[in-house]
Amino acid sequence: MCLVNAKQLLEWEMTIDDLSRDPNMRWSLIALQNQHLYGDYKQAITRKLAKDNSDHSQLSVIAPEFIDIYARFFPLNRSEKGVQ
């Protein structure tokens, strides 16, 4: 459920009062999806960079890309743990 909420927050499909979506939070949400190989996180990276191609974004994309590589080499069977 938390991954669904993270995706909805990232895509502005869900709002939480007094929660601002600063660039660091958006990159953290993308990294969370990557960690669990959830959703189309690569497209989320592409969309985010298309909107904000600043130096900060270029550096911020390193973590989600590394997590993606790491998760593929060291997969966890997430379905057995109930992570969605």
What are the tens digits of pLDDT across the range 40-84?
877 888 888 898 888 888 888 888 778 777 777 776 655 444 444
Q: Name the residue ranges covered by the structural domains of the chain.
A: 2-14+21-81
Question: In angstroms, rounded to a whole number, what is the distance separating the alpha carbons of residues 63 and 51?
Answer: 18
pLDDT at 49: 85
Question: In angstroms, rounded to a whole number, what is the distance separating the alpha carbons of residues 2 and 69?
Answer: 22
Structure tokens at 34: 């990557």
What are the tens digits of pLDDT across the range 11-22?
888 888 888 778
Q: Which residues contact 70 (CB under 8 A, 6 or more apart)?
A: none
Structure tokens at 16: 């939480």
